[in-house]
Structure 1
Amino acid sequence: MGNEVGKYLPFWGKFISVIKILLKRSIAGDQVFEMSKGEFEAIGNREKSGYSFNLEIINGRVTNDLGGSAIARDLFQVLSDNEDIKKWLKGKSVKINMGNKFSLMLQSTQLD
């Protein structure tokens, strides 16, 4: 697991502006971003464990166990490092997941 740390940071960094827009739009309705299987495979071979993940963020903090998902941990790191997104996450409940079809689904609601 040690060699997985930060492996996906540059990948997610490339898409941060698109993800930022989709996150903001996700308040009005679920957003989907089609990702490329090839790009994930170029970073690392996860054939056995797969690339799918669930990331749940409430008020800017991860609430689910990311365990062995370097992909999800690095996505959260990139989101947290972006000041605009970090501010936007406050007062929101956000779910980001990706299944084995490489579609990134973004859902969010405003907390009371």
Structure 2
Amino acid sequence: MENHVLDNLKYSYLWNKYRPMVLKLMKDAADKPQQYKFQKHEFHDINPKEKGGHSFSMELSNGRPSKEVKTSMVAKSLFAVLDQSMTAVDLSQGAIYEFSMDKQYNLEITLKEAKEEVAEPEEVAAVAEEAQEK
């Protein structure tokens, strides 16, 4: 039986459970930073003595964490779950998201840098044609 990367990460079950909510917050972060309040027991039931606590801060740039997530098992598990989601990968391509959770278990997702909209070749041709007509 193949051992999957998520099987080794303590918090992957919790992040998988909340993945649809995290993806919605990522989409909604285009307008303003989004927050979600977790219950303390959700993290403490998994590991009440997490080294360094459960709070973390992580930037996701082009689908990869731009800061080391090795120090936080909570952040590492979140990244592993997002990395398995095509929606999360698509949202983070060309964008920078910041994920942070404070000691009161408030998760905040901020879109720091949005994707640049890439024009379709047909749109580029139409604009060029319009410019030539003038």
TM-score, normalized by length of structure 2?
A: 0.76
Instruction: Return the structure number with greater strand share.
Output: 1
Give yes or no for the alignment of 1:53 onto 2:56.
Answer: yes
Q: Which moved more, 1:80-89 or 1:69-78?
A: 80-89
Task: Read off the aligned partner of 2:31 and give its amino acid letter.
Answer: A
Q: Is the 8 A contact 2:35 2:106 kept in 1?
A: yes
Q: Is the 8 A contact 2:52 2:72 kept in 1?
A: no
Aligned length: 109
Structure 1, unaligned stretches of length 5 or more? none
The secondary structure found in structure 2 opposite 1:43 is coil
Which of 1 and 2 has greater Rg?
2
C-alpha displacement of 1:33? 0.5
Give yes or no for the alignment of 1:97 onto 2:100.
Answer: yes
Q: Partners in 1 of 2:88 and 2:70 — Cα distance?
A: 23
- 4+ aligned runs moved over 3 Å, structure 1: none
Q: Deviations over 1:15-62 (max 9, x none)?
A: 000111010000110000001111100000236621100110111111
Identical-residue share of aligned pairs (%) = 27
Q: Partners in 1 of 2:90 and 2:50 — Cα distance?
A: 35
Q: Partners in 1 of 2:106 and 2:55 — Cα distance?
A: 9
Structure 2, unaligned stretches of length 5 or more? 1-7, 117-134
CA RMSD after TM alignment:
1.6
| Larger RCO (alpha carbons 8 Å, 6+ apart) | 1
Task: Read off the aligned partner of 1:90 and give its amino acid letter.
Answer: Q
Give yes or no for the alignment of 1:17 onto 2:20.
Answer: yes
Q: Partners in 2 of 1:60 and 1:25 — Cα distance?
A: 17
Residue number in structure 2 paired with 1:110 = 114
